[in-house]
Chain A
Amino acid sequence: MAQDTTALRVAGSTAASGSAAAVERRANIFGMTQQAEVAVLRPRDCGRWPHGLRAAMAARIAALNGEPELAGHYRTDAGDYAALADPSVDGSGQGLAEVMAFMDKVAVETRDVSAPDIASLQAAGIGDADIVRLCELNAFLAYQLRVIAGLRVLNEVYA
Chain B
Amino acid sequence: MTRVITKFTRNVPHWQPRLKPVDLEEASQEQLDALKVTPSNTKVSEYVLTLAHDVESLKVRSPLFNAIMYDEGGMSRSERELGALGASMVNHCIYCAAVHAARHAQLEKSTDVTDKLFRDGARADLSPRDRAIFDFAVALSEAPPRVGQEHVAALRDAGLDEAEVLDLILSSALFGWANRLMHVLGDPVRVS
Residue pair A154, B169 in contact (C-beta under 8 Å)? yes
A79 within 8 A of B: no
Residue pair A131, B141 in contact (C-beta under 8 Å)? no
Interface residues of B (CB under 8 A from A): 18-20, 50-51, 53-57, 59-61, 63-64, 67-68, 71, 73-74, 90-92, 140-141, 143-145, 147-149, 151-153, 156, 161-163, 165-170, 172-174, 176-181, 183-185, 187
A-B contact pairs, 10 of them (CB 8 A): A66-B144, A108-B144, A110-B183, A118-B185, A131-B53, A133-B53, A149-B145, A153-B151, A154-B152, A157-B152
Asked whether A108 and B143 contact (CB < 8 A) given A22-B163, A25-B163, A45-B56, the answer is yes
Report B-chain residues with C-beta under 8 Å of the C-beta of A57: none
Query: Which chain B residue shows the least CB distance to A150?
Result: B169
Asked whether A157 and B149 contact (CB < 8 A) given A22-B74, A113-B183, A143-B174, the answer is yes
Report A-chain residues with C-beta under 8 Å of the C-beta of B63: 32
Given A43-B54, A136-B61, 8 more A-B residue pairs with CB atoms under 8 Å apart are A29-B71, A29-B170, A107-B143, A118-B185, A133-B57, A150-B172, A154-B152, A156-B152
Instruction: Determine the distance from Cα of A146 to Cα of B83 in the docked complex, in whole angstroms.
Output: 13
Residue pair A128, B19 in contact (C-beta under 8 Å)? yes
Shortest A70–chain B CB gap in Å is 12
Instruction: Determine the distance from Cα of A122 to Cα of B185 in the docked complex, in whole angstroms.
Output: 12
Q: Which of A36, A64, A146 contacts B169 (CB 8 A)?
A: A146
Instruction: Determine the distance from Cα of A119 to Cα of B178 in the docked complex, in whole angstroms.
Output: 21
Residue pair A142, B60 in contact (C-beta under 8 Å)? no
Q: Which of B51, B60, B74, B149 contacts A132 (CB 8 A)?
A: B51
Task: Count chain A residues whose beta carbon lies closer than 8 angstroms to a beta carbon of B.
Answer: 58
Shortest B92–chain A CB gap in Å is 4
Interface residues of A in 23-68 (CB under 8 A from B): 23, 25-26, 28-29, 32-33, 35-36, 39-40, 43-45, 64-67
Q: Which of B18, B61, B163, B176 contacts A115 (CB 8 A)?
A: B18
Shortest B132–chain A CB gap in Å is 12
A99 within 8 A of B: no
Residue pair A154, B143 in contact (C-beta under 8 Å)? no
Q: Which of A39, A67, A118, A146 contacts B18 (CB 8 A)?
A: A118
Q: Which of A22, A144, A153 contacts B162 (CB 8 A)?
A: A22
Shortest B42–chain A CB gap in Å is 21
A78 within 8 A of B: no
Report B-chain residues with C-beta under 8 Å of the C-beta of A143: 173-174, 176-177
Residue pair B19, A139 in contact (C-beta under 8 Å)? no
Asked whether A142 and B56 contact (CB < 8 A) given A19-B162, A29-B170, A36-B61, the answer is no
In the complex, the 7 A-B pairs of residues with the closest C-beta atoms, listed nearest first: A150-B169, A146-B173, A111-B92, A139-B180, A142-B176, A143-B177, A132-B53
